[in-house]
Structure 1
Amino acid sequence: MRRVVYISIDDTDEIGYPKSTGILAEMIAEFIDSNFSPCSFVSRHQLFIDERINYTSHNSSMCFTTNLDEEEFAKVIKFAEKLLIEESAPSSEPGFAIAFEDEISNLNEFIKFGKRAKFEYITKDEAYSEASRQNIYLKELKNTGHGIIGALGGMALRLDGNDGRVKGKTKMSKDEMSVKELLDLGFCDEVLDENFNLVDKNEKILTKSKLKLIVKNFKAVLLVKSDKNRKFIPYDIEELREF
C-alpha cells in the first residue's frame, strides 16, 4: 500500500556549478514520477544564515512529497543516494532525508526543530538525534555531510505547511488573466490577497512578469495585492523573501 512520503535534500552545489539543489530534487522527482507515483511541487525553505555554516549562496533546502510503498521507498533511497553522490558538486556536503509521514513520531516537535533551523545554529549530532527520535531516514553522502541539517530542517518546515516558496518562476502567455484562468491551467492551487483571503475567480490578475508561488496551508499559492488602480498584482521575489 502506498503512503505519503516526504523527501528533502540540501547542500549539493557550489558557486558556478550547473546543477543546483533544486535541479537535483527535480531529477529525483522525475525518477519517481516515471516509475512509481506523481510527485508534488518542489519547495524551497530558507534556513539560518551564519558564518559557521558553509552554505553556497542562500542556505536553502528543497523538499517534495509523493506516495510510495515499502519496496518503492527502498528503491528511491538507492536511486537518490547514487544520484546525489555522482551529480552533486565536488566540494558539496549533500544530505538526504526521507520518511513516511505516518511513521514520524511527533509532528509538532519535529516542526519545532524545523523552525529552529531557520534561526539557530544546529549541529550534525542534533540533526541525527532528531532524525532518530522521529523515525526519519537521514544520510550524509559526501565530504563532511553537513547538508543533513538542512535536509532535515527543510522536511520539518514542509510538514508545517506554511513555509517556503515553490521552486521556479512561470511566465504566463497573457499580460492579464482571471483567477479562474490561472486555476484552470493548474499553475497554482489558490490565489490569495495580502490578508490571505481567497481572491474571487472573476478577478483579473496582472501577469506581465514571471510569477512566483509560496507554500500556504500545504498548497502552492499565488499571493497578490491591490495596486493604486485597484488591480491585483503578484508579489515580486523581494517581497516574498520572508517565506
Structure 2
Amino acid sequence: MKYKFLLCIDDTDELGGEIFTGLLTEEIAAFAGLFAPVSFVTRHQLLLDPRINYTSHNSCMCFEARLTESQKQRVLDFALELLERKSAPSAEPGIAAVFEKDIENVQELISFGRSAKEIFLSTERAFDTAREQNVFLKEIKSGARGVIGALAGIGLRLSGNDGKIRGKFELKESNLSVAELLGLNFIEAVADENFKPLSPDERVNLIGALKPVFLDFKATLLIKKEAGGGFRNLNVKELRRF
C-alpha cells in the first residue's frame, strides 16, 4: 500500500558554490518519481537572524510522493547518499522525512514550522519534536543546524499555506483567461490578493515569470487588479511575504 510521504532538506549549499538545495531536492524528487508521481517542490522561507549561518535566504525545500514502505526506504537511502556526496563543504545539511500517517500530532509539526519562521530555535528542540512526532531527522554532519529547517519544512508543507513553488515559469502569451491558466500543468488555482478565486472567464495580463505560491494545498497564481482595470500577476517583490 502507498502512503503520503514528505521529504525536506535544508542548508546544503554555500555562497559562490555550484550546489543548490533546490536542485538537490529536485534530484531526490526525480528518483522518487521512478516509483510514483511526485508533487512540485515548495520553498519555505525561515527566520533571517545573524545567529543563523544561512547561505543567502535561509529557505528549505520540500516535496511529496505516494510510496510504499520499501520505496520510502530506497528514496531515503538515495537522499542520504546524495547529501553526503554533494553537499557543499561548509554547509550544515539536514534532512527530514515521514509518512503523514505516522505523525503523532500534525499540528505540533505545523507549530514548529511556524516558530522557525519567527524565533531562533535549537537543534535539540528539533530532535525532540521529531522524536515525539515519529519523523526521521538526521544531521549530515555533527551539529548541523539544517535539521531545524528540514523539520520546519515538513510542518510548513503540512500546513498547506506557506511557501512558493520552486521554479519560474515563462510563457510566450501575454494575456490568458483564468480557465486557460488553470489548464497549465503548474497552476492549480488562481486567486486575488485576498485569496478569493477568480471566475474562469476573467483575463490576466502576464508580466515576467509566473511564480505560484502554496495556498490551500494548491499551486496558486496570485493576481491583483490594475489601476486602469483588468488583472495582472504579482511580481517577485510583491510575493516576498510568501
Name the TM tier (shorter chain).
over 0.9
Q: Is the 8 A contact 1:179 1:200 kept in 2?
A: yes
Residue identity in the other structure for 1:211: L
Map of 1:160 onto structure 2: 159
State the shift of 1:109 in Å: 1.5
Q: Is the 8 A contact 2:40 2:166 kept in 1?
A: yes
Structure 2 regions of 5+ residues with no counterpart? Answer: none
Structure 1 regions of 5+ residues with no counterpart? Answer: none
Q: Does 1:11 align with 2:11?
A: yes
Residue identity in the other structure for 1:127: A
State the shift of 1:208 in Å: 3.2
The count of corresponding residues between Structure 1 and Structure 2 is 242
Cα RMSD (Å): 0.9
Map of 1:20 onto structure 2: 20
Q: Is the 8 A contact 2:60 2:153 kept in 1?
A: yes
Residue identity in the other structure for 1:218: F
Structure-to-structure mapping, 1:1-243, within 5 angstroms = 1-33=1-33, 35-142=34-141, 144-243=143-242
State the shift of 1:142 in Å: 2.7
Q: Is the 8 A contact 1:179 1:199 kept in 2?
A: yes
SS in 2 for 1:119: coil
Q: Is the 8 A contact 1:92 1:143 kept in 2?
A: no
Residue identity in the other structure for 2:210: L
Residue identity in the other structure for 2:110: I
How far apart are the structure 1 equivalents of 2:51 and 2:227?
44
* TM-score (norm: length of structure 2): 0.98
How far apart are the structure 1 equivalents of 2:27 and 2:143?
23
Residue identity in the other structure for 1:57: S
How far apart are the structure 2 equivalents of 1:16 and 1:26?
20
Q: Deviations over 1:109-161 (max 9, x none)?
A: 21111111001111111100000000000011135321000000111011001
Residue identity in the other structure for 1:116: S
How far apart are the structure 2 equivalents of 1:235 and 1:159?
24
How far apart are the structure 2 equivalents of 1:116 and 1:208?
34
Residue identity in the other structure for 1:78: D
Identity %: 46
